[in-house]
Amino acid sequence: MRFIRLMMGLAIVVQSVIVRDAVAGCLGLLLSGMAVFNIGCCGGGTCYRPVSKAHTTEQAVAYEEIV
């Protein structure tokens, strides 16, 4: 995923230099920086959630007829 993000960022930077668009250049640098420093969405394992150790027991469901 980092490689794809880096390639997209570099492609956006190159395109922004050709078109002379500063906003696109900043976005390209942002994507490239996220790939190089491994930060961003779930970078560095920040989305890790420990497995719940709560044991659940199945209980019988009692149904009641409504007339």
Give the structural domain span for 34. 2-42
Give domain status of residue 57, yes or no.
Answer: no
Give domain status of residue 34, yes or no.
Answer: yes
Instruction: Quickly list H helices, 1-67.
Output: 2-19, 22-37
Count of CB atoms situated within 10 Å of the CB of 38: 12
Total-model pTM = 0.59
Give domain status of residue 8, yes or no.
Answer: yes
pLDDT given for residue 28 in this prediction:
93
pLDDT given for residue 35 in this prediction:
87
pLDDT given for residue 13 in this prediction:
94
- How many domains does the chain fold into? 1
Give domain status of residue 24, yes or no.
Answer: yes
Over its length of 67 residues, how does the chain's per-residue pLDDT go in tens digits?
Answer: 889 889 999 999 999 999 999 999 999 999 999 888 887 766 556 666 677 776 667 778 888 888 7
